[in-house]
């Protein structure tokens, strides 16, 4: 069984499952080779959702790193770029404060946020990894 890519009518790339059954290979209870291989439309949708969530988690991680680096250079709290980073990273910081029970000092929240986001990304990729 192999997979090839084809251009769809809208210009998007679609994966097409091409089966090469060998002599004596039984069909799996009337299902096509694409359904048996797990490359059906449901699995593609799940893969796309996992990809988007993983991308958002990675973006949040990089925003936290960017806020750390920018904090070394920005002295004015009213700076528009600094405010954008503060607004973008505040949701992961709030989640980290909640998960740690507000016991972690404020100066270490960035590290806890990075650890939680990395753990979420690892769990996501391990749970939905293809065999």
Please state, as a whole number, how many other Cβ atoms lie within 10 Å of the Cβ of residue 4.
9
Which tens digits make up the pLDDT trace of 60-74? Answer: 999 999 999 999 999
Tokens of 131: 């065999």
9 confidence band (pLDDT: 50, 70, 90): very low
Structure tokens at 93: 């910081």
pLDDT at 44: 84
- The stretch 32-50 carries a mean pLDDT of 69
Who wins on pLDDT, 92 or 7?
Answer: 92
The residue to which tokens 């359904």 are assigned: 35
- Report the alpha-carbon distance of residue 86 to residue 129 in Å, rounded: 33
**CA 37 from chain center: how many Å?**
23
H or E element: which one contains 113? helix 109-127
Q: How many Å apart are CA 58 and CA 97, to the nearest integer? A: 19
């Amino acid at each position: 069984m192999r997979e090839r890519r084809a251009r769809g009518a809208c210009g998007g790339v679609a994966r097409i499952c091409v089966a090469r059954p060998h002599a004596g290979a039984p069909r799996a209870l009337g299902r096509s080779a694409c359904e048996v291989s797990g490359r059906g439309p449901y699995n593609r949708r799940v893969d796309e959702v996992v990809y988007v969530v993983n991308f958002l988690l990675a973006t949040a991680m990089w925003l936290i790193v960017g806020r750390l680096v920018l904090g070394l250079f920005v002295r004015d709290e009213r700076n528009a770029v600094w405010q954008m980073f503060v607004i973008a990273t505040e949701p992961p910081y709030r989640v980290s404060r909640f998960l740690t029970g507000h016991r972690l000092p404020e100066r270490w929240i960035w590290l806890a946020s990075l650890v939680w986001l990395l753990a979420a990304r690892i769990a996501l990729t391990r749970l939905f990894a293809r065999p």
